[in-house]
Chain A
Amino acid sequence: MINKIVHSMAEAMAGIRDGSTVLIGGFGAVGQPDHLIEGLIEQGAKDLVCVANNAGTGRQGLARLMELGRVRKIICSFPRSQGSVVFEELYRAGKIELEIVPQGTLAERMRAAGAGIPAFFTPTAVGTILARGKEHREFHGRTHVLEEALKGDVALIEAWEGDRWGNLTYRASGRNFNPVMAMAADLTIAQVMHIRELGELVPENVHTPGIFVDRVIRVDRGPAWA
């Protein structure tokens, strides 16, 4: 019997190695796998490259992981947001590497990794400092820049519902980067609000088919999110 549901955070985090590239879902707090990030802090892997839209806020979650010196590099589109104090301290002190990627290019680089496409051309960022040093080529009279796929060793994602085959649904704007990251990693771990019996999810409404998911763990984000 296939059963991707795990019942402890230790099982969920098993095997994450030092030096891993970790894709972390969410757009701000929405769709961000807070419990899994706490699990990763507990698990101890270090020298990580983290890929997330934002560079953490406050002193918990991703910010805490960075503050503990466990993140070597962050790849994101929008590091500077309200309360991104830890990142800014580390960055100014030269203690963390930063790769800024336009948000759509970030999503597409991971989608490409998940779809077996090693690189693609896009007009986004042409003529800016983010295109420097990259291969340029003209298509239909317009200049494009070559962007490479971005693959994760691990993806930590948040979903609304999940079943034992790993099928997932998302709630409202909680979907954001999660389905794309699920496709792009060797080991995809999903925290969900609700576990459903196999066959209970409406097949036409499954957002991430189970093939992209390795482990599912139920978490409680509290009544506001239920």
Chain B
Amino acid sequence: MQGFDRKAMAARLAQDIPEGWVVNLGIGIPTMVADHVPLEREVILHSENGILGMGPAPPPDKVDPWLVNAGKQPVTLRPGGSFCHHADSFAMIRGGHIDLCVLGAFEVAENGDIANWATSENDTAPAVGGAMDLGAGAKRLWVIMEHTTKDGRPKLVERCGYPLTTPRAVKRVYTNLGVFDVVPERGFVVRDLAPGVTLAQAQAASGATLHTQ
């Protein structure tokens, strides 16, 4: 089984972002999506710490310590970009102004539930950040993640076992094995399989039924 590596997953997701969308990318694999949106396609990146129109990382000699992304890494501002304070930045999110949010996850359930912030109710120090605001507020939520955990347990499941971030929020999941829509009353529907991956293999790695169109 071949599948996508992380770069290819990010590139596959980037293909589906049309010009003109305002997009918030979470920390981890989601951040890599930015590198795969062609420069001539105008997509506006939003960062929760008050950046609209975020650009790529600067060369080491051009780092501005005042300009970081949600992961606290140095970034740049594109021409046309702007800054705002936290309440305005989250008004963009909570007010339904963000076209797409891309997050990583521990689990996604077939009803669209996402769990991505705590691994148990007694987590020593759960860190929610902006995930619940993004899950509840963005116009659409896509998840990008490995199809299974490091020890092979499925992350596409019937019901989440971990504490929820947002119920019924995920519209689509991109994994190393393919692209899966979350369809109300139906569950996971295969949109696309990665090169060299069969439906049977993807199904065997999933904890919920994968429907075909």
Contacts and interface: CB of A to CB of B under 8 A. Distances in A.
Interface of A: 27-31, 55, 77-81, 84, 87-88, 91-92, 98, 100-105, 107-108, 110-111, 122-130, 170-180, 207, 224-225
A88 B124 contact: yes
B207 to A, nearest CB: 20
Nearest to B95: A104
B102 interface: no
A30 to B, nearest CB: 5
A176 B133 contact: no
Interface in B79-125: 83-87, 89-90, 93-94, 118, 121, 124-125
B71 to A, nearest CB: 9
Interface in B59-83: 64-68, 72, 77, 83
A80 B125 contact: yes
B160 to A, nearest CB: 11
B165 A128 contact: yes
B39 interface: no
A123 B136 contact: yes
Given A30-B66, A92-B124, A103 B163 contact: no
A98 B121 CA distance: 14
Contacts of B187: none
A219 to B, nearest CB: 15
Contacts of B77: 172
Size category of the B interface is 35 or more
B164 interface: yes
Contacts of B50: 173, 175-176
A125 B66 CA distance: 30
Contacts of A122: 94, 136
Contacts of B86: 27, 103, 107, 175-177, 180
Given A175-B85, A177-B85, A78 B66 contact: no
B18 interface: no
13 contacts: A27-B72, A27-B86, A29-B65, A30-B49, A30-B65, A30-B67, A79-B127, A104-B93, A107-B86, A123-B94, A128-B164, A128-B165, A172-B66
Contacts of A81: 127
Contacts of A130: 128, 132
Interface in B129-183: 129-133, 136-137, 163-167
A129 B160 CA distance: 14
Contacts of A127: 164, 166-167
Contacts of B85: 107, 170, 175-180, 207
Given A80-B127, A103-B90, A123-B94, 17 more contacts: A27-B49, A27-B86, A31-B66, A103-B86, A104-B48, A104-B130, A105-B132, A107-B86, A108-B94, A111-B87, A124-B136, A126-B136, A127-B164, A128-B164, A129-B118, A173-B50, A180-B87
A125 B136 contact: yes
B92 to A, nearest CB: 10
A153 B179 CA distance: 50
A123 B129 CA distance: 16
B130 A77 contact: yes
Contacts of B118: 129
B49 A77 contact: no
Nearest to A114: B87
Contacts of B165: 128
A86 B68 CA distance: 24
A111 B86 CA distance: 9
A112 B67 CA distance: 27
A111 B85 CA distance: 11
Given A108-B87, A175-B50, A175-B85, A125 B125 contact: no
Contacts of B136: 122-126
B126 interface: yes
User: Which has the most chain B C-beta neighbours within 10 Å: A124, A126, A224?
Assistant: A124
A49 B159 CA distance: 37
Contacts of A101: 128
A55 B49 CA distance: 16
